[in-house]
Structure formats: structure tokens, C-alpha cells
Amino acid sequence: MTIEAYAPYLAALSAALPACDGILASRQPLQDLATSGAIGPDHRTYLSVNRTGLAGSAFELDDRLVTSVSAAATEGWTGIKHMTRIDLADPVTAAALELLGQVIDDARTSGVEALVESLSWTDGRMARDTDAIVRAAVIAHDLGAPVLKVPVPDVPPGRERIAAVARVVDSVGVPVLFLGGPRGEAGRRAVIDEVADAMAGGAAGMAIGRVVFEDPDPGEMARLVADAVHGG
């Protein structure tokens, strides 16, 4: 658990949202942000639908639905976000891929967008090497994912990282968003450099959470990221 005080968390998200194209969140934060007016008519809104795979639990890869695509449609969200973790050493991955296929079909039928976070998982953690990212992207793409969310490859910044991002983008035929931002105390400059490299490599955009809403000034940080995404 990385967030405990709920009101400051909502306040940080509200401060960031004016610079953002959209937001993905689990049900309660999404509802509260909509009720408060922080989500505007031009924002895309993605409901996270599978949330049982709690970090550090024995059942982390058994990530089941906690809500439905039809609920997202009824509640008026733009789309859903579904995460699939692919661990070639864990048989539960087969059921996870089956669920992904069903969710993609349900989204198509319901007329909502499906944002698929497809991750390679090894030894209990996300694999950030380029081969692993490509593998997970290709698998989800082949199952029909219309938009992907994947990590930025963990390679040296600049030319090498741009080339790695381009390889991921070229491995599929749909838009690819890149998640995250540098881990640890890397600072704003490292985040913006990573965003710039991802966009130069052909990313369709960025899906960044913690490094924005945990920044001392979430609104300013969101504006910096938005400028880097949109070429400002």
C-alpha cells in the first residue's frame, strides 16, 4: 500500500487533471473525481476492471475481475483498463490470457475502449528488458487489444532507448502508451527525458501515475509531462 491519506491523494489527482488527456483508476477514486467536477467533459476515463492481484500476495498473478465492462459502459466511462501479467513459468497465465480475450470481446460489444496493460512477469516482478516487453505486447495484440500500455524499456537513455521504444511500437499495429517514469529519486528531469525518448520512438502517449501525483506540485509536473508528450 503506497497511499493511505485519501483526501490528499484526490487533491493531487485533481490538481494534475487539467493538464491530462484522461485518467485511469479503480472505481472509488474515479467516481469521487467525477462527482467533484475534477474530471471534465473532454477527459478520457478508464475504469480498472481487474484488481484482485494484490502486490506481494500469494495470488498476485491471479488477477480477476472486480467489475465488468458493462458496468463501465452503464456508468458512462470512456473505457476500461485491463492488466495481464504473462509469466511463462506460472500456469495461471493461461487463465489470465483467456480472461483478456473475453474482456476485449466484451468491450467491443459494449462500445467502450479497452486499454490493455500487457506485462511480462519474471521472478515476481515486471520484466523491463526489450525482448520481454515486445513478447507481452505481441501476445496481447494478437488477442485483439486495441490500445496497449507497456513499460519503457530499461536501457540507457537517448538513442538506445528511442530505438528500443521504436522496436516495441513496430511490433504491433495499434497505439502504444508507455507507463511509469523512472523509479526511485530520479527527479523531474529524468522523467521528462524518459517521456521525450518514448515520444521520439513513436509512443502514442504516456500513462504516468505516481511520479505525477506524488510530486510536490502535481499540477506543474503534469504540465511538464503534457508538454513533452504534445511537443510543447
DSSP 12-52: HHHHHGGG-SEEEE-HHHHHHHHHHT-S-TT-EEEEE-B--
pLDDT at 7 over 60: yes
* Over residues 77-102, mean pLDDT: 97
Confidence of residue 20 (pLDDT cuts 50, 70, 90): very high
Quote the pTM value: 0.94
Asked if 197 and 172 count as a contact pair (C-beta separation under 8 A), the reply is no
pLDDT at 72 over 90: yes
Confidence of residue 187 (pLDDT cuts 50, 70, 90): confident
Asked if 43 and 34 count as a contact pair (C-beta separation under 8 A), the reply is no
- Residue 122's pLDDT is what? 95
- Residue 227's pLDDT is what? 97
Q: What is the rounded CA–CA span in Å between residue 162 and residue 8?
A: 35
- Residue 180's pLDDT is what? 78
Helix (H) or strand (E) holding 232: none
Select from 165, 42, 211, 49 the least CA-distant residue to 115: 49
| Structural domains in the chain, sorted by start | 6-230 (3.20.20.70)
Average pLDDT in the chain:
95
- Residue 183's pLDDT is what? 61
The string of pLDDT tens digits covering residues 27-54 is 999 999 999 999 999 999 999 999 999 9
The SS3 assignment for 147 reads strand
The string of pLDDT tens digits covering residues 122-181 is 999 999 999 999 999 999 999 999 999 999 999 999 999 999 999 999 999 999 999 976
- Residue 146's pLDDT is what? 98
pLDDT at 91 over 80: yes
